[in-house]
Structure 1
Amino acid sequence: MAESVPFTSGDAEVVSLIYDGSLASSGLLQFYDYSRATYAFARLIATIEHFRRSGKVAQRINSKNYVNIIIKAPEKGSFPLDILIPIIEELIKEAPKFAHVPVGIFLKYIMHSVTRLLPKEEKKLLDLANIELEREKQRTLQTSEETKRFQELGKMIESGNVNTRLAMEMLRHAQAVSDARASDLIGNSVEFQEILKKLEEYEEREKEFAPYKSQLESIGPNKLARLTRKVRPQINEIGLPLRGSAEIVQFSIGERREKFATYNKESIKDINSRLLDASATDAELRLFAYDRDSGIGKCDVISEGIYRVSCATPIELRGELRPKILKAIDRDAVKARVRYFRNKDGGVTSLQIEDIDL
């Protein structure tokens, strides 16, 4: 006699992993890559969910910290993998404040923390800004709004820092006017749409996090750094089917599989090409630019002799740091508490600002 299901879908949140493109479009995947990817997906969800409930980063996933996850049978079409994570009605008193953040929001927050625009995507957006700026120069009459946009384009090009809102506007405008130079730059329409979709996903997630700001702030940069160091290699294994039998993998939430993050081979490789330092350090910075929407900017690390590198503020600290950063931009240098992203050789690729001493 078959065992009854321990809970129904109404008592659980659905999280899905969807492979598409190549063989996956026909509901097929290479078995070996798929088996390793599903194991990595199980470890990723268990790692994140154990942390959400306990506030501790598990060194190993075993019977002591295992989360009761049920898998649903895949369907034909692209290759989806649906799992059910039980909703805990009553958390223990010792549970961390962020344990009350819904599973879906928490998963989105962690994936958001390890994802960025690829350097080549940033370069294309800056090159597109040059085309847009040239077009604006050719206009003889401008409204005050158009003049402001002209200035924003100039700042973006000069600083080398992508303004998320302006970038989305540029991409949509280039598509609408069918500019030959923009089309040549962006390449095929698929690539064009992928960059725009990534920016839209980024913007949408930022809005979703807003109601949970105080809970997410309670995680703290040290714990978040340890957790993201743990999940990066798990994401790498989830991407194994992209070696041959799929082209993209998407994360989604809910019965309707509402997608919130899309990755290809390059973006997964980028996630694993850099690690965030486990501990923060003091540095002297010269800040050049900062995008309020994305929390990303450009700076020099004077104390390390590192020039024009990307810097970012964690979402949970962004509100607190924004006024400090805006003041710091007007200064020649400021003291800051930072955490470096490093490549596999230990070289600094970017940094995270956690505090500024004014």
Structure 2
Amino acid sequence: MGFAVRRTSRSYVRPSAATPSGTLELSIIDRVVGLRHLVRSLHVFPAPAPAGERGAAAGSPARAVREALGKALVDYYPFAGRLDDAGRLDQYPFAIPEDDLLPDAAPDVEPLDLPLSMQVTEFSCGGFVVGLISCHALADGLGAAQFINAVGDYARGLPRPRVSPVWARDLVPSPPKLSSAPPPFPRMFQFWHLVVDLSLDSITRAKSQFLQSTGQRCSTFDVAIAKVWQARTRALRLADPSTRVNLCFFANTRHLLRGGAAGFYGNCFYTVTVSAESGAVEAADVAGVVAMIRDAKARLPAKFARWAAGELAEQDPYELSFTYESLFVSDWTRLGFLEADYGWGTPSQGEKKAKGEGLRENKKKKNRERKKKIK
């Protein structure tokens, strides 16, 4: 079955008021070559409840988002971009190719030259999808979600965003560039898409096991990535159990900056790497793998401080090396995308489409199962 999306208009959305002029410097993290890519995500909003059950907004979501976007671009003027409106459809959104729900390319414009683009697809049932494409060099996940929530604030009639944005790239340390090893010979990878369902019961059992064995508590994130890392390591079937395998994830470091960097929406993260022999990861119980992850997380403040002071002797933590033995994980469940409200309530589902990894979170599921797409 196929369904056609009819794009009814395409235009650039300008800030609704004057914005400052001048040059804005990027931070040393913003300038990481690997962040020069586009992050694609879909934010699914269900049809509103019947009148009287919920204070649903009136009118067109596309029009409301467009008007609010113009206001938000005054505060977040580096994001100034464009918005596509899409015509109404009468089928469930995921029966439609994702590319039809995301903005298409602007004529004669290099895609990476657009900091941000949006498309609103409306459905006859009253639901809609906001398709977002943003350049990672301008904002990390928390920053992009902060911007989207600002658009929602204006769409609901607030006089200003609840969080005031700050550029403040000077808050990010700028240590001397570390010497890096020559880039390895390019490797070709064959990736498979796999959806793994981790039930709430299995996560709760693992948390209980960790508490009993260590006397400490752990998070759902700790358990989820421990299970996935161990399962993936076993699936690699490495002949030598002493082969090193790595788990890498990206930790927010705003709380480690001066004053906590409230409202900062640039890139502010550090790569946390857990490394162990494959045999140890395969043979450990889940609590043991969780302990490895928590030990690496506990070292984050010290590692970040050493990097900021230019004291690291190892390779630059922002120059990532991709191998079959390394698993990269990104968690979007706590960034704030699922709190965005344009006047019709919050999304029922959000799905990230990015290079190398992804995560889908569905708020409709009562047991809050975590679904991870692993490549």
Shorter-chain TM-score tier: under 0.3
Which structure carries more relative contact order (alpha carbon 8 Å, separation 6+)?
2
Query: Which is richer in helix?
Result: 1
Taking structure 2 as the reference length, what is the TM-score of the superposition? 0.26
